[in-house]
């Protein structure tokens, strides 16, 4: 046996089979796919308009009409929450992007190539979660901070305004970005289970917007007991510095971080179910 042969035999076997990607390679692939698709760029552009644009409109209108407001409106005014008014539409848009990250591959059939490169399906989902989650987090935090600072500048001189160092303000701004990120991952999990864009989007919008409306058909006691657990309510409460005045019809809300923990629990559960379903079904 030659020296070269002995040297080759002494080397450890490759950790990844030939033709397959490891976690790092798969995350690079997911990043390439995400940033090279037009839908991602357009969705992110709409997210900017939603979070920052609506925040600018809301604060500008408030500043212009402040003197026309009543005493109760002035007392309950939350300048931080007003500048983050675009969070509502931003939650819908980030959900669209989360759905497309997974459902687009099923729709075009490219998921087969992805699963051929990495047969470990839960690993594929995990890589998508890491890449999309990181991108959504950075984007969401940049937008919420931008909406806050621009909004407070518009409020100065006409209405009370907030600074980032005031109690609850930094938590609200960071928390708003975290809510957007987690809801995007929640939508990704739904798309993993449903695999169809329209179906996943309908389910996401139903959970976010329709479910709180359905609760209004139930007795008040049931509404107050359940409304605090709705993702939409949790998100709005997280973005407020005065959650006590955002009681949603008299129901006692969860504290912002407890509510965020509940939202994370929903998302983890959906992603775990999605991973199990993805592993058991054909592409």
Structure confidence at residue 14 (pLDDT):
43
Of 96-110, 174-188, 200-214, which range is least confident? 96-110
Structure confidence at residue 31 (pLDDT):
78
pLDDT above 70 coverage of the chain, percent:
88
Structure confidence at residue 3 (pLDDT):
42
The rounded mean pLDDT for the chain is 85
In the predicted structure, residue 199 carries a pLDDT above the cut 80: yes
Structure confidence at residue 1 (pLDDT):
47
In the predicted structure, residue 24 carries a pLDDT above the cut 70: yes
Per-residue pLDDT tens for 157-192? 888 889 999 999 999 999 999 999 999 999 999 999
Per-residue pLDDT tens for 48-89? 999 999 999 999 999 888 887 677 667 788 999 999 999 999
Q: What token pair was written down for 64?
A: 């212009």
Structure confidence at residue 23 (pLDDT):
75
Structure confidence at residue 137 (pLDDT):
96
């Amino acid at each position: 046996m030659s020296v070269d042969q002995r040297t080759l035999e002494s080397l450890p076997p490759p950790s990844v089979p030939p033709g397959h990607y490891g976690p790092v390679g798969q995350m690079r692939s997911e990043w390439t796919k995400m940033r090279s698709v037009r839908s991602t760029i357009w969705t992110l552009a709409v997210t900017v308009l939603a979070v920052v644009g609506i925040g600018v409109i809301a604060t500008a209108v408030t500043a212009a009409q402040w003197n026309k407001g009543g005493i109760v409106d002035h007392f309950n005014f939350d300048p931080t929450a007003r500048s983050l008014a675009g969070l509502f539409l931003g939650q819908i848009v980030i959900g669209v992007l989360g759905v497309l990250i997974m459902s687009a591959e099923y729709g075009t059939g490219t998921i087969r190539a992805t699963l051929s490169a990495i047969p470990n399906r839960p690993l594929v989902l995990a890589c998508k979660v890491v890449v999309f989650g990181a991108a959504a987090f950075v984007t969401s935090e940049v937008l919420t901070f931008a909406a806050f600072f621009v909004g407070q500048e518009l409020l100065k001189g006409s209405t009370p305004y907030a600074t980032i160092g005031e109690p609850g303000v930094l938590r609200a701004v960071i928390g708003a970005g975290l809510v957007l990120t987690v809801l995007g991952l929640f939508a990704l999990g739904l798309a993993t289970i449903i695999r169809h864009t329209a179906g996943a989007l309908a389910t996401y919008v139903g959970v976010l917007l329709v479910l709180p409306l359905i609760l209004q058909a139930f007795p008040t006691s049931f509404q107050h007991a359940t409304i605090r657990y709705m993702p939409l309510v949790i998100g709005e409460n997280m973005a407020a510095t005065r959650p006590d005045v955002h009681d949603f019809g008299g129901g006692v809300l969860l504290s912002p971080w407890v509510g965020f923990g509940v939202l994370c629990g929903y998302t983890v559960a959906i992603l775990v179910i999605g991973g199990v379903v993805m592993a058991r079904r054909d592409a």
